[in-house]
Amino acid sequence: MYSSQILSLKPVSYFWHFNNRCMIIFRWLHTIYSVIIFTITFMVVFPFLVLFAQKDSWNKYAYKITQAWAIIYFPLIGIFMKIKDYNDEKWDKPCIYVANHFSFVDIAAFPRIANDACFVGKQSIAKAPLFGYFFTSLHITVNRDSMRDRAKVIEKNIEAIKSGKSLFIFPEGGIRSAEPPRQVKYKDGAFRTAIKMGVPIVPVTFLNNWRLFPDDGKFLLRTNKLNIVVHEAIDTSNLNDADIAALRDRAFNIIEEELLAFNKKHLSQG
Domain residues of the chain, as ranges?
79-268
79-268 adopts what CATH topology? Answer: Glycerol-3-phosphate (1)-acyltransferase (3.40.1130)
Residue-level pLDDT at 59: 92
Backbone phi, psi, residue 118, to 5°: -115, 125
Positions of the chain with pLDDT lower than 50, given as ranges: 2-7, 9
pLDDT (0 to 100) of residue 11: 62
User: Which pLDDT value is given to residue 10?
Assistant: 58
Given this model, what pLDDT does residue 122 score?
Answer: 86
In angstroms, the CA 131 to CA 125 distance is 8
pTM: 0.89
The pLDDT value recorded for residue 253 is 99
Contact 202, 230 (CB under 8 A): yes
